[in-house]
Amino acid sequence: MRLGFLASHGGSAARHLTAACQDGRLDATAAVLISNNSRSPALAWAQGAGLSTAHLSSATHPDPDDLDRAILDVLTAAGADTLVLSGYMRELGPRVLGHYAGRVVNIHPSLLPRHGGRGMYGDRVHEAVLAAGDSESGATVHLVTQGIDEGPVLAQARVPVLPGDTLDTLKARVQVVEGDLMLRAVRDLATRVSGA
């Protein structure tokens, strides 16, 4: 398995999976990271970690179809066969989705289908969980399809919502489970795809 990553900011899933590749917990190679943010910490980290990198965005490719093609070209040139969205804040184009169908994973900071969909990302998700009075939250790794947060669920991890929780305390509790959840889901995907 050769992993390609798309990240907009810190790229915590990319960092976690790359470390797992390097220490033998994941039988894969971290190949390439693309960011739509030329100043993202993920892009700087990936360059230092020896991954192929690219900044591709509406600034570099104003036409969405050209951007979709450019992203696919960079991923395939790096030999990526599985795509991990690591806090990527843009929708994927039809070329990338089609090429990697069934092999694009994303992590969402709630128990999908609750608190998913357009506009539900980052702190907004945790705020929605607290506003709804939910007794639990967590994280979901799912396959990416054309709809926002609508793909099949691969794995979930649950955490309690505690009395007195704030956005920051709930977010921290969810973030603790995200890395290992993503690792487990990518391992399971590799097994499922290789056995197909």
Query: What amino acid positions are annotated as catalytic residues?
Result: 108
Radius of gyration of the chain (CA): 16
182 close to 84: Cβ distance less than 8 angstroms: yes
Q: What is the 3-state secondary structure (H, E, C) of 98-143?
A: HHCCCCEEEEECCCCCCCCCCCCCCHHHHHHHHHHCCCEEEEEEEE
